[in-house]
A and B are shown apart, each in its own frame.
Chain A
């Protein structure tokens, strides 16, 4: 299973959701945000090296509570990436390491589309704001054009009761509510996924619910 975590808009928490869902799935998480990497790991082989043909993807895996394939930080590295190589890289990684979760960049350009195109399914992350939902709907359309099934959507960083039913209706998939929780926010930089750090929290339950929707078979 290759799962793309997408969302259209930047800053809605795609990386956080990708990292925590990967923890719940015992998957490798790949930072595919070629221009603005978020997941930790600045040293060593990165996805830039893999997509430039300089390294094998299995050499880029960085072990941790959740295994990570980090992305390079330079724009020159992003320019040198051949996105057409991403499909083979992710397939190789899945064969070697099991399920793969891909943290996608924002937008509708090729760097956002290619992970969706090569993934078996996607999760959409949306913030409980109307303007963010419009971007999520556009990403949903992109996934549909690329024939990628939508496994579910995460309404992230919820403080008040969100219009979950309306969001699920707009995106055409069940929506899980991830409440605002500082432990979720910190989980990526501290590398402590919320399902381990706070297994009884509502946020951990939401992450498990999202992971449960992913068809692993």
Chain B
């Protein structure tokens, strides 16, 4: 059984790619254990981990001469050293002259392996217990079928109070992004570098459109960025002012910042008044749903 691996670091996450090769003549059940400090973040579909994965690693069935690719992520503390060295190693019980084990001899022995083969067990083809544990039927169906979740944009106009502080996991957010596309992102990621474009978009489109809580939050974030920029420029020394102007892409980009902030202040006061009035009305209103149902 050969194991080769490679670790790449992306931000605070290690991305581990490995491949196991069964060079024997019988199918094997192989346990690959993660040796990194952080937890294993397994591959997921529809928010459900792929079958065989758990908190420490993965157990897979590998057919004779099959090369099985595996990959996972693991968060690392920012302080830990980066060691993106690709390496290849070979593990017992069987090692042969496969290409992997040939590379093994020239591998860097100093790199700590991120994974190890913890166990190799033979399995019979007819053994009914050899199937990888696919989890519950519900998990399998969630993995295989399209997400049921209405896109985040559809929440505008809905009673979307739950949408603030979205309880959803990362995977479900990506599912929504499939449907919603880039226009759904209420906060322009370029906003910090492109105040003109970002301001134009956030100042008109979002405000004039039907505003859901997420969009309102995006607009408030944009206003906050403008206010912070203005605050840094208020009574600033030359060094700070130069820095802010450079970050904004020139004086031209800041020329109408004052005017925008005046507009922001007016809108915020109007929003505050209206929000308070609506909250009071929402508290006072009571819909007799049960009675209405009797009418229909």
Chain A interface residues (CB < 8 Å from chain B)? 34-35, 40, 42-43, 52, 74-87, 105, 108-114, 116-118, 146-147, 189
Contacts and interface: CB of A to CB of B under 8 A. Distances in A.
A79 B168 contact: yes
Contacts of A109: 145-148
Contact of A87 (B136, B167, B289): B136
A129 B162 CA distance: 40
Interface in B245-296: 289-290, 293, 296
B216 interface: no
Interface of B: 46-48, 136-142, 144-150, 152, 154-155, 158-163, 166-168, 172, 176, 289-290, 293, 296
6 nearest A-B pairs in the assembled complex, by CB-CB distance:
A111-B148, A117-B141, A87-B138, A117-B137, A76-B162, A110-B145
Most buried by B among A84, A85, A113, A118: A84
Contacts of A117: 137-138, 140-141
B167 A80 contact: yes
B288 to A, nearest CB: 11
Given A84-B136, A146-B137, 5 more contacts: A74-B159, A79-B150, A84-B138, A110-B145, A189-B293
Nearest to B140: A117
Contact of B167 (A52, A83, A110, A118): A52
B138 A75 contact: no
23 contacts: A40-B293, A42-B293, A43-B289, A74-B162, A75-B155, A76-B159, A76-B162, A76-B163, A78-B150, A79-B152, A79-B172, A81-B148, A81-B149, A83-B138, A84-B136, A85-B138, A109-B145, A109-B148, A114-B141, A114-B142, A114-B145, A118-B137, A146-B137
Contacts, number: 98
A212 B46 CA distance: 37
A18 B168 CA distance: 30
A35 B141 contact: no
A68 to B, nearest CB: 13
A42 B150 CA distance: 20
A47 B170 CA distance: 22
A78 B136 contact: no
Contacts of A82: 47
B48 A79 contact: no
A82 to B, nearest CB: 8
Contacts of B137: 87, 117-118, 146-147
Contacts of B138: 83-87, 114, 117-118
Given A40-B293, A84-B48, A189-B296, A78 B148 contact: yes
A85 B290 CA distance: 29
Contacts of A34: 148
Nearest to A74: B159
A40 to B, nearest CB: 6
A35 B154 CA distance: 11
Nearest to A86: B138
Given A74-B158, A74-B159, A118-B137, A113 B145 contact: yes
Contacts of B290: 43
Given A75-B155, A75-B160, A76-B160, A116 B141 contact: yes
Contacts of A77: 162
A146 B138 CA distance: 10
Contacts of A111: 148
A76 B167 CA distance: 10
B150 A75 contact: yes
Given A83-B138, A113-B141, A117-B141, A74 B148 contact: no
Contacts of A35: 148, 150
Contacts of B136: 84, 87, 118
A112 B148 CA distance: 8
Nearest to B287: A42
Contacts of A78: 148-150
A110 B158 contact: no
Nearest to B293: A40
B276 to A, nearest CB: 23
Contacts of B46: 110
A185 to B, nearest CB: 12
A102 B44 CA distance: 27
Interface core residue of A40, A85, A114 (most chain B CB under 10 Å): A114
A110 B146 contact: yes
Contacts of A87: 136-138
Nearest to B173: A79
Given A84-B48, A118-B137, A189-B296, A75 B142 contact: no
B141 A80 contact: no
A147 B47 CA distance: 22
